[in-house]
Structure formats: structure tokens, C-alpha cells
Structure 1
Amino acid sequence: MAPTLLRKMSQAFRELADTVNQDKDMEVKPFAQACSYITDLMRHLGPLSKFAVDDFAPRVADLEAASRSFRSLKSMMRGNIEQNNVRSPGSHTRNLLLVKRVIELVNILFQQIVATNYDDKGDNALPSQGLAAYLAVFSQYHGTGLKATVEFFKPLIPSKAQFLVILEERDEASIVAQMRIIVEAATRITQYIDNLFVAKDLGFDWA
């Protein structure tokens, strides 16, 4: 049986986290590949997906393109610093920061799903948990118009039962197990990226 999307994603994220554990530089190419699975995941979020994918996918594609010039995230950021274009629209470093925030969103969403044991009612329903994760990460960066758009699409986000079928996972235990792996890995990955920004004295509240 071919691995499901969530299994591919959990393996890619775990391998990235392993580089952190081994005190190695995280490479751009596998990072971009891992993030491409988030793009695929977004496509299963109903009408909201086009809005999300149109913003996120080009940033991941930019990082994939950057991997042809830079081996590691650290060297990629150094290249932008040397060119004095870190904060320029479309810079690799700016896209890395914005992609990191989406990883944080996925992390928070999956944490909620794992913590509530895949319960699909009331505040534990996927649309409610998805909105909560979005607000936790992006509330300070997005204006009222964008927040209203996300709120508008909230009722159209699939339920967890539908999500289970869409992702072709066997059962709730299977999907929670993969999400737990991603949560543990994503926490290490985003901390690693935060440390890179701090080490270069760039901060991460500007994009």
C-alpha cells in the first residue's frame, strides 16, 4: 500500500527534525519538499484552499528554487544578508519566515486534534480548531479584511470525518499517530529557524 499524504509528511518532518537533533545545518531542498506536503494538505480544505495555496505554494517554490544555489537554510539567509535584501518582497529569507508561520499553524492545529483525541464536535470540530490555530499565529499580522475572509470560509472547511476519508487514513488512531509525529518534529524545526533569525539579529516579527 502506498504511503498516505500524512505519512509522507510525517516522515519528511521527522527527517528534518533529526538534522536538528544531530546538530547539522538544515538543508533547503528537503525543507522545501517537506513544506510541499503542507501545500497538498491545504488543497483538501474546501474553498479556503485556493486562497491558502495561492499564497503559500509560490513561497515553497521559491525555496525549492533557492536550493539550486544554496545548500542550507543558514547559507541561504547569509546570501540575502550579503545582498542586503533580507526584507525585500520575495526574498528567500522573507519567504522562509512566512513559511515557518504556516508550519506553526499546522503544528497548533494538529496539537489541538491530538489533545482532543480527534473529537469532532463543538469547539473541537475541525473548522473551529482551524480558525483558532490561524488566529493564534496570524492575528497580529493580518488585517480585519483578511480575518473576515477566513471567518467567512470557516463553515466550508470539511469535518474531521471527511478529512479522514480525504487523507485516506485507516482510522482516527492512525491519523492521530501521524499528527503526533509532525507536532513533535515541527516544534523542533520552527525553533531551529527562530534560532537562525535570532543569531543573525533579524528578528521574526516583521514580514
Structure 2
Amino acid sequence: MADSNAERPLRKISTAFKELAATVSSPSPEVSVAQFSHACSLVSPLFGCLGIAFKFAQMDYVAKVEDLAKASSSVSTLVVMMERDIEANCVRKAGSHTRNLLRVKRGLDMVKALFEEIIASEGNNSLKDPASKSYDQVFRPHHGWVIQKAVALGMCALPTRSQLLTMLNEEVRTYSMSNPVFKIINSGNKAEAKIHMQSYVNASAPVIAYLDNLFLSRQLGIDW
């Protein structure tokens, strides 16, 4: 029998970001802070699955997403949220919603790059190259030597691709009923996992572009 009741983070991420992509691609996009923070919260478990190498990213990302979720109770859209910080002259101050938004965007960038690398390296069970390349592309330019060194050391403790899929409940297990002790006789749903990863890559692109434009159109920059 199939283990079909488990939570499926990749599927949820894919669905949420398709909805966000539809919103930002509309003629007059109004992205609610609530919708955005909820979609981003679904990504959080992925950082936890990557182990100690991305522990810093997990802690930072989760904290920033939680801040945006709390802000959603009093702020309607991302645009309104950003405009309030601009008026208060606190955009770059630690703890500002806009600063936290930029950090969350960077996390989305990282996941997009990671999924792209995983898909491109299909057939290789190691995640070291995909994780290293995506880290170098997104996070390294913003980290000091100490964090860079810690990440490099942590890369040795990354899960394998198969282990990652298991942690994300993307393994479909089939059990032998002929033995009193049920044994897994077939597992693996890599094709479906790949579909959800590619879906996130495709859907997150316009979302990330929308966020970049929010910052750049207001001369705030995105490299701080």
C-alpha cells in the first residue's frame, strides 16, 4: 500500500508560488503580505533538511518570514509595507520589514538556484555541488569569512539527494504484504519531485523579479 497521507512540502511550495506568480503577473499586482508570508513559510522546512551547512539560513529565514507574517495583521500589501518604512526612514535598519523582506527574497533566490542545480545534476546523488554552487551564487557575496568557512565545513554533512527526498516525504513507499513485518520493496518518486522543483523555479522567477523591482524602482538597491 502507498504511504499517501504524509505532508508533501514540495507540492505545497509549488502550488503556493504558482498562485503568487499569477498575482504578480496580473495587470495591477497587489501582493498581500499575508499571502506572501504564507507561501514563504512553506519553504522553511527545506532549509531545515539541508543540515548544519544552512542552519544560519534556516534561522534567519524563519525569523524574517515570521516578522512578515506578524506584520500582515496590520499591513495590507508589500507595497504599503515598504512605503511605510520609506516614510519612517528605517528601510535599512535591523528589524525593519523592508530589510526582512530583502532577506526573505534572498532565501527564495537560494532555493531557486538550488533546485536548478539539482535538476541539472540529475543522476548524481550528492548535493554538495548543487548546494555549493547555489550558495556561491546567492549568499556568499553577502557573508563574511567566518560564515563562509562554517558553510564550507557544513557541506560535508549535507544529506544525499535520496535522503532529502525522504525528509521531504517525496519517497513513495510500497510495502510487501506477504511478510508479517512489512518491508519496503519499492521507493522513489524522483520524477514527481523534479516536476515540483521545476514548478517552483518557473513560478518563483516572476515573484523574485517583482520583488527586485519593488526595491530598484524606489532606488533602494538589492545588494545590502
Q: Does the alignment reach a TM-score above 0.5?
A: yes
- Tell me the equivalent position of 2:45: 40
- Tell me the equivalent position of 2:184: none
For the residue of structure 1 that corresponds to 2:42, the secondary structure is helix
1:72 matched to 2:73? The reply is no
CA separation in 2, counterparts of 1:51 and 1:194?
23
- Tell me the equivalent position of 1:51: 56
Which of residues 23, 26, 30 is equivalent to 1:19?
Answer: 23
The letter for the 2-side match of 1:180 is Q
The letter for the 1-side match of 2:15 is Q
CA separation in 2, counterparts of 1:86 and 1:112?
33
- Tell me the equivalent position of 1:190: 208
Structure 1 unaligned spans of 5+: none
For the residue of structure 2 that corresponds to 1:47, the secondary structure is helix
1:156-197 Cα deviation digits (max 9, x unpaired): 110001112111113110100000100011111110001111
Larger deviation, residues 34-43 vs 88-97: 34-43
- Tell me the equivalent position of 2:127: 126
- Tell me the equivalent position of 1:100: 105
Give the CA deviation at 1:97: 0.5
> Does the 8 Å CA contact 1:128/1:154 hold for their aligned counterparts?
no
Give the CA deviation at 1:49: 5.0
Q: CA RMSD in A?
A: 1.4
The letter for the 1-side match of 2:195 is A
CA separation in 2, counterparts of 1:97 and 1:66?
15
> Does the 8 Å CA contact 2:110/2:135 hold for their aligned counterparts?
yes
- Tell me the equivalent position of 1:179: 197
Q: Which structure: greater helix fraction?
A: 1
Which of residues 10, 15, 35 is equivalent to 2:14?
Answer: 10
1:73-117 Cα deviation digits (max 9, x unpaired): 11100010111100110100000001101111110111112223x
> Does the 8 Å CA contact 2:57/2:107 hold for their aligned counterparts?
no
1:106-163 Cα deviation digits (max 9, x unpaired): 10111112223x3225xxx212211210110122211111100000100111000111
The alignment of Structure 1 onto Structure 2 pairs a total of residues equal to 202
Larger deviation, residues 12-21 vs 107-116: 107-116
Query: Between the two proteins, what is the percent identity of the paired residues?
Result: 39
Structure 2 unaligned spans of 5+: 173-188
> Does the 8 Å CA contact 1:120/1:159 hold for their aligned counterparts?
no
- Tell me the equivalent position of 2:178: none
